[in-house]
Structure 1
Amino acid sequence: MLKEKVKQINPAFWVPTAYFAMGLPFVVLAQSTAIMYKNMGVSDTQIAFWTSLIMLPWTFKPLWSPLFEMFKSKKFFVVTFQFVTAITFALVAFSLPLNHFFAYSIALMGIVAFSGASTDIATDGVYLNVLSSKKQAEYIGWQGASYNIGKLAAYGGFVTLAGILEKQLGVVHAWMAVMFGIGAVMALVGLYHIRMLPSGGAVTKEVTSLKEGFSTLWDVLVTFFQKKYIFWYIAFIILYRFAEGFAIKIAPLFFKAAVSEGGLGLTTTQIGVIYGTFGTIAFVLGSVLGGYYIARKGLKKVLMVLVASFNIPFVVYALLAMYQPENLYVIGLGVVMEYFGYGFGFVGLMLFMMQQVAPGKYKMAHYAFASGIMNLGFMIPSMMSGFFSDMLGYKVFFIWVLVATIPAFLAAYFVPFGHPDNKEQAELEEGSTN
């Protein structure tokens, strides 16, 4: 009876916390660690390469996602991996004072990446199995917003805190405190989800032997590539975030770099406030409004608008690199504009994967395949971004980012829809009840 009662809890009580807990580890590894290592004397090239490489689990998570269709409940995996993430962040904190801190901390963050990617798989499984197609569209904005509130916590909260503590405790001990704090937040969210998270439904196909396990794994893989238009979808998903992959890793380093080096010369605290706080608030607002916009108009009708909203605002970084303004309000306004458009457009990709790629027998595993492909499209340019930035300089680099947006527009223009979008599905469901 308790299980059924928890299932009926309003999504507003678990969607925000579940996706916040997905977003926080990802943003910490993808971006916050760049500031930490920069302050600890690591080169931009090493930072960009290694903090991109450890993101591989988010790309390869489809390889183990079918296991979550075979055993336990989705909730079990969500909560378990949230506690693994919490403990590992604490271990990262202990590694920072050591002589070979970079190697130890990067290795531990690889474990965080694996547990974080596993949390993503199971959380998406709960979302896809508990909510109807209509509810998925209604909550997609809140899902994206909550995921990126992790950015607000990571940048606006923890990076700002690190900047304050660096002056009092020194760089190493400041970031130790921050890593302990992140671990504590993850542990608290895990405790909350023990009570509040729905189970996500029973296993799709229970297995009792190794042979059955491999059979199910093969079935998941084959049915994914048998989907109509799947190769169009793969190309679209990879190209949607292609330009972002170049920009997202270098932007905070550009903000931190000295003016004489082509950067903006901001302090850690200023980056936390401008880039992390106001930028993330703008992202959250854009995500929520984007979700309502899609729910009202239908994804197919507004896809090009969403792609433009996501990619065109990268011009802000090119302008900042060209003029290197000193006025914090000008810089902040540029970041707010870029992040609002980023958030508004980002939810379109997430809903596209839910409505066009995930439908079928293995919703959770196939959505994991799609999101893994999405992260591959993000990771490859992200790994190369440090090399390009060092070779071109910030000004030319961000002009290149604008050129890299072109494939996303082409992919969005040509991509077919094999399933009804949220508006068409709602009309079909309404018609069936009349």
Structure 2
Amino acid sequence: MSTATKGSPIRWVPSLYLAQGLPFFAVNVIAQQMLISMQVPNEQITRWLGVLSLAWGIKWLWSPFLELAPSKKSVVIVFQLLGAAGLALTAIALHLPVFFVVCIAALSLVSLASATHDVASDGLYIASLDHKAQAEYAGWQGAFFNVARFVSAGGLLILAGSLEKSIGVPAAWTAIFLMLAAAMVLLGLYNAWSLPGTRNVPADAGTAADVSRTLWHVIQDFLRKPGIWLAILFIILFRASEGQIQTIGPIFLRAARDLGGLGLTTDQVGWAYGTAGTIAFIAGSIVGGYFAAWLGLKRAMVWLILAMNLPSVAFVFLSTAMPTNFGVIAAALSLEMFGYGFGFVGVILYLMQVVSVGRYQTAHYAIGSGVMGLGMSLFRTISGDIQVALGYQNFFLWGLACAVPVLVLARFVPLESTPAAAPVAPPQVAEV
């Protein structure tokens, strides 16, 4: 690997990972709040946003073919601009009679562009920096991905709530998505200047047929691992509770009190989730990592699974007590996000230290994380129908019950760390 770049990496790493985060949170956070404000039924919101999230779960299927492009830089820029186009189309769609159908189509473009951009941007980072520089700038990756979280789940939701009150719901969200589109265009233009050139990109990727054969061998090797089907079940069920709670929780917060919700405004959700919640999530992730390192994965796993279900506990409390004090609500949501960040470490370490070990470690890590994403998409997709059938309070109790199977499985799947395993950088995205 080479460190030959256009100037210092500080000129392009922050903008690259800000551009990675903005479309992700546009689909997975902002779009949900927009659809709630547009009064789309719960089951429709969860079903279609669950489908959209599939892109991040299956991106490993086409990721090897990106090596056939002239350069990783060209792929990054193209998909940043395609993401901008999808965000702009979403803004326009809000004023059409069939806005929901067109919005979902436009957001599909955003999700596919974002998932592909994830692969290309990570590949560009790895190909352009040597191991020392990769380590030095890894913190900037996570920092600016989380800047995107702050901007999206915090600042833009707070702004959207204010605009809803002054210019109306459709106009407010049109402004928000146009801002996101403009930001992605500006980032694309800046990155076209700042990103490293193509000289570091290998030119021997082979033909599409060669890539397909290699991909098939990688998949076969993954499926031949001892106990892999039990491992796949464990990965899928690990986020069964949290995936559903993270989907229905924000809808519950916005739902009117006479419908069983807390009746929060868009800007209040932005303050609670995008600011305090994001800080709690980051803190939980850091503490969870040190906790797992202290105890070891095998001894820590039960505690990590229990922490992963703090979101269910928080929402059971909120749906039972129905507090009106915003400070109490924000505190409960901070506990939820801390538990989410803390517990999520468990599945990431399981993928790194158990599932991905072997001949194709990096590729198998990508497949394992894709399986996790597919499970998340499944539970997001069905969560709305379950909530409509059970009501909010019973739904959150159901979320608690979903923790039981994975606790049982934790006694049967291998959880020993493998010392020979090389470290693999965890994904910047925790929600998918």
TM interval, short-chain normalised? 0.7 to 0.9
Q: 1:270 to 1:159 in 2, by over 3 A?
A: same
The 3-state SS of whatever aligns with 2:97 is: coil
Select the residue among 308, 327, 330 that pairs with 1:329: 327
The 3-state SS of whatever aligns with 2:151 is: helix
> Which residue number in structure 1 is paired with residue 3 of structure 2?
4
Equivalent position amino acid for 2:279 in 1: I
Equivalent position amino acid for 1:6 in 2: T
Q: 1:356 to 1:72 in 2, by over 3 A?
A: farther
Matched, 1:310 2:308: yes
Does the 8 Å CA contact 1:85/1:112 hold for their aligned counterparts?
Answer: yes
Q: Which moved more, 1:93-102 or 1:360-369?
A: 360-369
Does the 8 Å CA contact 2:34/2:173 hold for their aligned counterparts?
Answer: yes
Whole-Å separation in 2 of the counterparts to 1:331 and 1:200: 52
> Which residue number in structure 1 is paired with residue 168 of structure 2?
170
Mapping 1:23-422, distance limit 5 Å: 23-125=21-123, 146-191=144-189, 193-194=191-192, 195-196=194-195, 202-203=201-202, 206-208=205-207, 210-294=208-292, 299-300=297-298, 302-358=300-356, 365-416=363-414, 420=418
Q: 1:200 to 1:238 in 2, by over 3 A?
A: farther
Q: TM-score, normalised by structure 2?
A: 0.84
Does the 8 Å CA contact 1:145/1:284 hold for their aligned counterparts?
Answer: no
Equivalent position amino acid for 1:93 in 2: A
Whole-Å separation in 2 of the counterparts to 1:344 and 1:143: 19
Q: 1:125 to 1:147 in 2, by over 3 A?
A: same
Q: Which moved more, 1:287-296 or 1:103-112?
A: 287-296
Q: Provide Cα deviations, 1:109-148, integer angstroms capped at 9, x if missing partner.
A: 0111111111222344456776769977x98887666544
Q: Which moved more, 1:338-347 or 1:18-27?
A: 18-27
Offset, 1:295: 5.6
> Which residue number in structure 2 is paired with residue 432 of structure 1?
none
Instruction: Tell me the matched-pair count.
Output: 421
Offset, 1:257: 0.8
Offset, 1:157: 1.4
Whole-Å separation in 1 of the counterparts to 2:405 and 2:7: 43
Does the 8 Å CA contact 1:125/1:363 hold for their aligned counterparts?
Answer: no
Equivalent position amino acid for 2:205 in 1: E
The 3-state SS of whatever aligns with 1:6 is: coil
Offset, 1:347: 3.5
Does the 8 Å CA contact 1:245/1:382 hold for their aligned counterparts?
Answer: yes
Equivalent position amino acid for 1:94 in 2: I
Offset, 1:305: 3.1
Whole-Å separation in 1 of the counterparts to 2:57 and 2:250: 23
Q: 1:190 to 1:288 in 2, by over 3 A?
A: farther
Q: Which moved more, 1:357-366 or 1:323-332?
A: 357-366
Does the 8 Å CA contact 1:204/1:362 hold for their aligned counterparts?
Answer: no
Q: Provide Cα deviations, 1:165-205, integer angstroms capped at 9, x if missing partner.
A: 11222111110110011123333444454525698964596
Offset, 1:272: 1.1
Equivalent position amino acid for 2:395 in 1: F
More helix by share: 1
Q: 1:196 to 1:379 in 2, by over 3 A?
A: same
Does the 8 Å CA contact 2:21/2:145 hold for their aligned counterparts?
Answer: yes
Does the 8 Å CA contact 2:236/2:372 hold for their aligned counterparts?
Answer: yes
Does the 8 Å CA contact 1:166/1:174 hold for their aligned counterparts?
Answer: yes
The 3-state SS of whatever aligns with 1:5 is: coil
Equivalent position amino acid for 1:159 in 2: L
Structure 1 alignment gaps of length 5 or more? 427-434
Offset, 1:380: 1.1
The 3-state SS of whatever aligns with 2:309 is: helix
Whole-Å separation in 2 of the counterparts to 1:200 and 1:322: 60
Does the 8 Å CA contact 1:140/1:351 hold for their aligned counterparts?
Answer: no
Q: 1:37 to 1:110 in 2, by over 3 A?
A: same
Offset, 1:232: 3.8
Identity, in percent, stands at: 40
Q: 1:166 to 1:53 in 2, by over 3 A?
A: same
Offset, 1:304: 3.2
Q: TM-score, normalised by structure 1?
A: 0.84
Equivalent position amino acid for 2:96 in 1: L
> Which residue number in structure 2 is paired with residue 430 of structure 1?
none
Q: Which moved more, 1:346-355 or 1:98-107?
A: 346-355
Mapping 1:7-18, distance limit 5 Å: 18=16
Does the 8 Å CA contact 2:21/2:148 hold for their aligned counterparts?
Answer: yes
